[in-house]
């Protein structure tokens, strides 16, 4: 499109040189902040002769950390998808008035800083002074206060709850946008054929927004796998490592000055991230091709 227009001859040379020059600052910056760190990580692990990896896999709680990471990721993704879809479907309904207002209010957990969200939840989930336990006690749903953040069996799901609270609005936004692209005639036709709400959801809505679902699941998984702030602020990975996931383990190693362990955990994260990146690139490639 652009190169077809006849340029003034004098500027021709400059023009051809320009695109790479324009893109170079951002590319160099990305290289310094991304590529060099990743290469440095790999080099450090290799240079240590694998002692870092041995150290990592001989940690007494390493199995627990991997299980925690998997459980936390799966829980956060499923929860955010369910709540985000519910929100998007409610907002999409023609019968709903003031949809813009409700959308704005439901977005709030997404726009406040993660540190604030985690801090506020830490207080909300407090065993003795938290409003959640009080509400559940008043409703008669629990007999005694739940130790959300200090019971090792509960804590991982409690912090996943915070992650869901923060990320569900993102799913809501993405799904809302995708829902508007479904032609209204399809709903009318289905309704004329006597389809109920669930049938419409299963046979019309879900297939139509399959790509969006894919992008959402992938993005949520990447966020959960790399999430650090929420767990760190809420529990610091405790009690006794019950909510420690890979990024938290890395941060603890960083604080202890154990550079080899930091690099080993980072390498494991890079490998997991690499697999997701391939999937991400594949999903985005269709997006790229549609746009260029």
Torsion of CA 196, 206, 166, 267, to 10 degrees: 150
Among 12, 27, 54, 201, binds another protein (CB under 8 A): 27
Q: Does 194 help bind another protein (rule: CB under 8 A)?
A: no
Using alpha carbons only, what angle is made at residue 70 by residues 67 and 71, rounded to the nearest 5 degrees?
Answer: 85
Provide the mask over 268-287, with x wherever binding to another protein is found by CB under 8 A and - wherever it is not: -xx--x--xx--xx--x---
Rounded to an integer, what distance in angstroms lies between the CA atom of residue 292 and that of residue 285?
10
Candidates 48, 61, 124, 213; binder of another protein (CB under 8 A) is 124
24: left (phi over 0), alpha (psi -120 to 50) or beta: alpha
For residues 161 and 178, which CB has a smaller minimum distance to another protein in the complex? 161
Binding mask 33-72 for another protein (x = CB under 8 A): xx-xxx-xx-------------------------------
Contact stretch for another protein (CB under 8 A) within 46-54, 59-67, 201-209, 256-264: 256-264
Owner of token pair 């040379």: 13
- Residue 147 binding another protein, by CB under 8 A: no
Which among 65-73, 149-157, 199-207, 264-272 is the span making contact with another protein, rule CB under 8 A?
Answer: 264-272
- The nearest distance, CB 260 to another protein, in angstroms, is 10
Task: List the interface residues with another protein, window 159-188 (CB under 8 A).
Answer: 165, 169
Q: Write each residue from 77 to 96 as x if it is in contact with another protein (CB under 8 A), else as -, in one continuous string.
A: ------x--xx--x--x-xx
> How far is C-alpha 197 from the chain's CA centre?
29
Return all residues near 114 (Cβ < 8 A) that are at least 6 apart.
Answer: 166, 229, 230, 233
Q: Toward another protein, which CB reaches closer, 184 or 198?
A: 198
DSSP 52-107: HHHHHHTSTTHHHHHHHHHHHHHHHHHHHHHHHHHHHHHHH-TT-SSHHHHHHHHH
């Amino acid at each position: 499109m652009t190169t077809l227009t006849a340029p003034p001859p004098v500027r021709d040379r400059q023009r051809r040189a320009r695109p790479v020059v324009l893109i170079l600052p951002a590319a160099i910056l990305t290289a310094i902040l991304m590529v060099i760190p990743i290469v440095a990580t790999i080099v450090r692990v290799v240079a240590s002769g694998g002692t870092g990896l041995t150290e990592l896999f001989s940690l007494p709680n390493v199995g627990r950390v991997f299980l925690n990471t998997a459980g936390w990721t799966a829980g956060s993704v499923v929860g955010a998808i369910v709540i985000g879809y519910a929100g998007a479907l409610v907002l999409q309904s023609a019968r709903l008035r003031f949809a813009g207002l409700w959308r704005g209010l439901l977005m709030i957990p997404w726009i406040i800083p993660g540190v604030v969200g985690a801090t506020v939840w830490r207080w909300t989930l407090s065993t003795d002074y938290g409003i959640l336990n009080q509400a559940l006690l008043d409703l008669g749903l629990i007999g005694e206060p739940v130790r959300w953040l200090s019971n090792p069996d509960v804590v991982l799901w409690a912090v996943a709850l915070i992650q869901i609270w923060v990320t569900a609005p993102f799913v809501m936004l993405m799904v809302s946008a995708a829902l508007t692209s479904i032609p209204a005639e399809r709903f009318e036709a289905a309704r004329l054929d006597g389809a109920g709400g669930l049938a419409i959801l299963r046979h019309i809505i879900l297939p139509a927004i399959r790509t969006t679902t894919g992008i959402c699941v992938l993005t949520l998984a990447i966020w959960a796998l790399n999430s650090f702030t929420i767990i760190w602020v809420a529990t610091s990975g405790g009690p006794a490592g019950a909510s420690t996931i890979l990024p938290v383990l890395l941060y603890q190693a960083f604080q202890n000055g154990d550079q080899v362990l930091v690099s080993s955990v980072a390498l494991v994260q890079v490998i997991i991230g690499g697999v997701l990146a391939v999937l991400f690139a594949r999903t985005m490639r269709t997006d790229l091709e549609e746009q260029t």
